[in-house]
Amino acid sequence: MACIKLISLPELNVTEVRRQGNQIEIFAVSECGNARCPDCGKSFSRVHSYYDRSPADFPVPAGCVRLHLRVKRFRCQNKACSRATFVEVFPDVLERYSRRTVRLHKAQSAIAFALGGQAGSRLANKLQMPISGDTLLRMIRSTPLQSSLEPEVIGVDDWAKRRGRVYGTILVNLERHQVIDLLPDRTAETLAQWPGSHPGVKIVARDRSLEYARGISEGAPQAIQVADR
């Protein structure tokens, strides 16, 4: 199948490709004959058993992709190690316990941060990356916020936890284009607490919400407020 050439699966050998309706199913096994024990750090090649994982993968023009991965469980033969067995890992392809590949997770996370839950779900479904709005919101909440220098220019806006019902506040470092915090609501009292603990804030871009204006005035009176249209 020509579209499979578009898919990169490092350290994996594709053994079979099937098409089921609009879904492409790819069967693969590891090319590596040994793995390193996570406890003692030594490499071993004796296979204890196998098990299967079937994560969703990034789509191709022909349709959605499901990866069927045959995973080896190795036996740790180091008598001084307390671990009896361990499984091989594929950090560039699939994280432990994840139901989607790394690249699919990145794509869906980007959609989640850009559009939120329900709107993001509609777009992802059209792009053949089906996912629920609730799952997209869980992605947002579980994404670790990147540490950065004390922000000086921030943006404040609302974001929908559940469209039309529950809204929170998102804060963005406008110099680094990074989300720096998610607040549970849109009240002035909650917002005032954040810049109050970040005295380096100099400029705040916000919408024309009176609650946001009051929260910034109380929490960061030194900051210049820039209201959009």
pLDDT tens for each residue of 11-64: 899 999 999 888 999 999 998 899 999 999 999 999 999 999 999 999 988 789
Q: Where does a domain end: 58, 76, 94?
A: 94
Strand 35-36 to 56-60 pairing = unpaired
Q: What pairing do the DSSP bridges indicate for beta strands 23-30 and 63-75?
A: parallel
Domain contains 2: no
Structural domain of 58: 11-94
Which residue type occupies 178? Q
Number of domains in the chain: 3
**Whether residue 130 is found in the same domain as residue 87:** no
The pTM for the full model equals 0.65
Residue 13 to residues 26, 32, 54, 224, Cα–Cα distance (Å): 10, 10, 15, 57
DSSP state of 6: G
82 and 104 share one domain: no
Tell me: pLDDT of 91 over 80: yes
Quick check: helix, strand or coil at residue 168?
strand
Return the DSSP state at 100: B
Instruction: Give the pLDDT score at 128.
Output: 95
- Residue 171 shares a structural domain with residue 200: yes
Q: Locate 177 and state its tokens.
A: 């284009």
| Tens digits of residue pLDDT in 72-83 | 999 999 999 999
Sign of the dihedral defined by the CA atoms of residues 20, 49, 58, 143, in that order:
positive
Q: Are residues 90 and 123 in the same domain?
A: no
Say whether both 63 and 105 belong to one domain. no
119 has a pLDDT exceeding 90: yes
Alpha helices in the chain (DSSP H): 102-115, 118-126, 133-142, 188-196, 210-219
Query: Do the bridges between strand 47-53 and strand 23-30 make them parallel or antiparallel, or are there none, so unpaired?
Result: unpaired
**Same domain, yes or no: 112 and 123:** yes
Q: Are residues 113 and 167 in the same domain?
A: no
Q: Tokens 């959609």 belong to which residue? A: 111
What does the pLDDT read at residue 104?
A: 97
